[in-house]
Amino acid sequence: MFRPLKPYQLAVDVSVAALALGLVLGVAYGWAGAQSLLGSVPVVPGGTAGTFVLPTVPLVPLAVVVVATAILTLIAAVVPTRLATRVAPVEALAG
């Protein structure tokens, strides 16, 4: 049996999935861009190029993105839900 979802649960689920996918793809594409730009730069002047750039993730901007996403999700989901539950379904359909 399925349990009924809270009105804002779908918005939270979609936001968490989008955040996780966005972070993974952002790190992957950012690393690929950094590798293509910085991988051909010689480390030692006059040395050979072609070094491997390790991916790094800055934790402070990552935490800011996660917290901002959580706050915006709650605002975008809870406020319309509260407004919609104040109106009776018959009144909403009537006009």
Residue range 52-81, pLDDT digits in tens: 777 788 899 989 988 998 888 888 877 877
Alpha helices in 39-88 (DSSP H): 59-85
d(C-alpha 84, C-alpha 78), whole Å: 10
Mean pLDDT for 30-58 is: 75
d(C-alpha 43, C-alpha 58), whole Å: 22
When pLDDT is cut at 50, 70 and 90, the band that residue 95 belongs to is low
Q: Read off the tokens for 90.
A: 């018959």
Tally: H helices and E strands in the chain: 3, 0
Question: Among residues 64, 61, 58, which one has the least CA distance to residue 31?
Answer: 58
